Chains A and B, each alone.
Chain A
Amino acid sequence: MILVFCELKDGQIRKPSAEALSEGRRLADAAGKPLGALFAGASCAGSAEAAKYGADVILTAEGPTLASYSSDAFATVIADAVKAKGATVLLAAATAVGKDMAPRAAARLGAGYASDVTGLSIVDGKLQAIRPVYAGKAFATTTFASAVQVATTRPNVFPAAEKPGAGVAETLAAPVGDFKSVVKEILAKASGKVDLSEANVIVSGGRGMKDGTNFKILEALADAIGGVVGASRAAVDAGWGLPHSMQVGQTGKVVSPTLYIACGISGAIQHIAGMSGSKFIVAINKDSEAPIFKLANYGIVGDLFEVVPELTKAAKAMGIGKN
């Protein structure tokens, strides 16, 4: 069996999980194996949706011990499910939860683990992964030495494809015990906006923004085209009040949106490392020699303070971002 750990939010499968599940379906077909979707939580209401993405079996572990996230309880659920089902491949999305628990579960299973993969295939019955290394400056083709193979899939890379499966429901026991580290409190709830690592459209600002308050013109553009705002390290470190969580690059977030708009960003190697995996790149810079233009599908040489508001206007005029 190919098993995919899925996360629910407000009773729905999170998009990165749907992507992992769809990729799981593709691999299951290639390997001639069934696909299992695995859920854990105080309640797994909404898990039936996994059938839409091709799950043959939907496994749920429900119980009070799974109400708050704890790496050992979740790793236990997963490792036990892998053993019970004799699964050879375990996937999860490379989210905050996925990246926390998948390596722990892999170690418990004595399994090889490939994180944040952007490509998966079955070669001679074994999983093979392609994963960005050096923050995307290179790609490593990775094979597994172990019988069980664990990988987390990078959000926004694998398409979520609907392909109905039988979705036979099965329940698993929730782990009991004293967990060594537990989430006690969720502090800043995401403001309804998706995280940079999962965003489809990103508008980023660099030192050329001159001040943090000027980021409001990027917010306006992002709102108009359904995007979220990121920043270069120069902007984050400038003391403009931008959090590190906005930083894109080798020591920030590595992102892979469909569209990345770089405003007043020169294109330093560490910044490029974090965003060169974007499908389309737009650069807006007043210096026509800025290295960012080498990557850009579309370049605008000009003053961002003039260009960005015009973009917002044009997008609104054309009715973009209404979906």
Chain B
Amino acid sequence: MKILVALKQVPDTETKIKVAADGRSLDPADVKWITSPYDEYALEEAIRTKESKGAEVVALSVGGDSTKDVLKNALALGADSAVLLRGDGQGDAFAVAQIIAGYAKDKAFDLILCGNKGLGGDNAAMGPMLAELLGIGQANVIVMLELSEGSFKAERETEGGSEIVEGALPAVITAQKGLNEPRYASLKGIMAAKKKTIEELDAVPVTTGTQIIALSLPPERPAGRKLEGDAAAQAQALIQALKDEAKVF
């Protein structure tokens, strides 16, 4: 079995967002970069499959020089090889899907694992777009995955519940928290990763579907009010205010 894992480098969740001088992108100063958390579940699932069934795991990222950290980490965790598709930092989820489809189309991957959304971009779109471009099935927001010869069974999170999706391989599966518990890299893994090289390819130029023309911070919230008195008085005052001022009820 051959598994491709798509990993995105994203700003750490602690990041305070500052808008760059161009008015439409994130100011990268002081930003700490991490692997998108959902992509960690995708990678872990690939490595577990390798351990239980035997598989070749290829880690892939579209990005620039700094993105190599994500791939080095993937190698340390157990990916067999890593590919950086070098881009210019422009482009949306559709562009990324086209780039990855261009790379993957003649490589006979049986399974492509992604995060269900890239932290930050938050489109939750790359996986389904990639599946469509490759003409294969998809299952998104997956918390359980079972692989058989040529087919898969997955549990997908929906509103207030879940459902079972079954389909043929190859397929794109996008991971949700709960799928597994990602491991930490071992010292041995880190040392072994140092000996592996990251294959670098130029991303095939593609068209993007959307463009961000402005990035802005949310409006300041109005100053709040603290309610005084004992618990009963505070509760009474709150319900009254929600009813009369906020008109929530």
**What's the tally of chain B residues with a CB closer than 8 Å to chain A?**
89
A96 with B128: in contact, given A137-B17, A141-B212, A300-B238 (CB under 8 Å)?
no
A300 adjacent to B234 (CB under 8 Å): yes
Q: Are B246 and A103 in contact, CB atoms less than 8 angstroms apart?
A: no
A276: CB under 8 A from chain B? yes
Chain B, residue nearest A247 (CB): B177
Instruction: Report if B168 contacts A (CB, 8 A).
Output: yes
A311, B122: Cβ atoms under 8 Å?
no
Q: Separation in Å of the B230 CB from the closest CB of chain A? A: 8
Would you call B187 an interface residue if the criterion is a C-beta within 8 Å of the partner chain's C-beta atoms?
no
B249 lies within 8 A of A303 (CB): no
For the complex, would chain A's binding face be called helix, strand, loop or mixed by DSSP majority? mixed
Q: Which residues of A contact B249 (CB under 8 A)?
A: 225, 315, 320-321
CA distance A129 to B158 in the complex (A): 25
B235 touches A313 (CB 8 A): yes
Interface string of A119-131 (1 = CB under 8 A from B): 0000000000101
Query: In chain B, residues 68-96, which have Cβ atoms closer than 8 Å to a Cβ of chain A?
Result: 92-94
Q: Is the CB of B160 within 8 A of A299?
A: no
> A201 contacts the other chain (Cβ, under 8 Å)?
yes
- CB-CB under 8 A from B11, the residues of chain A are 134
A96 and B158 contact, CB distance less than 8 A:
yes
The answer to the question of A186 belonging to the interface, with a C-beta cut-off of 8 Å to chain B, is yes
CB 8 Å contact bits of A188-202 with B (1 = contact, 0 = none): 111101110110010
9 A-B pairs closest in CB distance: A112-B209, A181-B167, A180-B137, A190-B160, A181-B137, A310-B235, A195-B159, A103-B125, A96-B158
**Chain A residues at the B interface, C-beta cutoff of 8 Å:** 69, 71-72, 75, 95-97, 99-101, 103-104, 106-108, 110-116, 129, 131-146, 179-191, 193-195, 197-198, 201, 225, 244-245, 250-252, 254, 258-259, 269-270, 273, 276-277, 279-282, 288, 293-303, 306-307, 310-311, 313-315, 318, 320-321
Taking A191-B160, A310-B235 as known contacts, 19 extra A-B pairs with beta carbons closer than 8 A to each other, sorted by chain A number, are: A71-B138, A100-B140, A103-B123, A103-B124, A142-B210, A144-B210, A145-B208, A180-B136, A181-B139, A181-B166, A183-B164, A186-B163, A252-B177, A269-B14, A280-B248, A297-B224, A306-B231, A311-B238, A321-B249
